[in-house]
Amino acid sequence: MKTTGRYHLFNDEALVPLLYKGDHEAFTEIYNRYLSLLYRHAYKVLNDSEACNDVVQEVFVTLWAKRESLSLTGTLSAYLYTMVRNRVLDQVSHQQVVEKYIGSIRDFANQGSWTTDERMREKELLAIIEAEKAKLPPRTRELFELNREQNLSYKEIGQQLNISEKTVKKQVHNALKALRIKLSSFLTIFPFL
In the chain, where are the structural domains located?
7-99, 135-189
List, in order, residues 6 or more apart from 53 with CB less than 8 Å away: 39
Among the CATH numbers 3.30.2310.20, 3.40.50.720, 3.40.109.10, 1.10.1740.10, which is that of 7-99? 1.10.1740.10
Residue 3 has pLDDT above 50, yes or no: no
| pLDDT higher than 50, residue 193 | no
Res 9: pLDDT: 92
Mean pLDDT of 80-86: 93
Mean pLDDT, rounded, for 60-64: 94
Would you tell me how many other CB atoms lie within 10 Å of the CB of residue 178?
Answer: 17
Contacts of 154 (CB under 8 A, 6+ apart): 147, 165, 168, 169, 172
Residues 6+ apart with CB under 8 A from 166: none
pLDDT tier at 43, thresholds 50, 70, 90: very high
Lowest mean pLDDT segment, chosen from 67-71, 110-114, 140-144, 167-171: 110-114
Which CATH number is correct for 135-189, 1.10.10.10, 3.10.560.10, 3.40.718.10, 1.10.3720.10?
A: 1.10.10.10
Q: What pLDDT digit, counting tens, does each position of 100-129 carry?
A: 777 777 776 666 555 666 777 778 778 877
Higher pLDDT, 177 or 58: 58
Q: How do residues 23-42 score in pLDDT, each as one tens digit? A: 999 999 999 999 999 999 99
Mean residue pLDDT of the chain comes to 83
Contact (CB, 8 A) for 175 and 140: yes
Residue 50 reports pLDDT greater than 80: yes
Asked if pLDDT for residue 154 goes beyond 80, the answer is yes
For residue 96, the model assigns a pLDDT of 76
Q: Kindly report each contact of residues 55-58 with a partner whose C-beta sits within 8 Å and lies 24 or more positions away, as own/partner.
A: 55/84, 55/87, 55/88, 55/91, 56/84, 58/87
Q: What is the pTM of this model?
A: 0.51
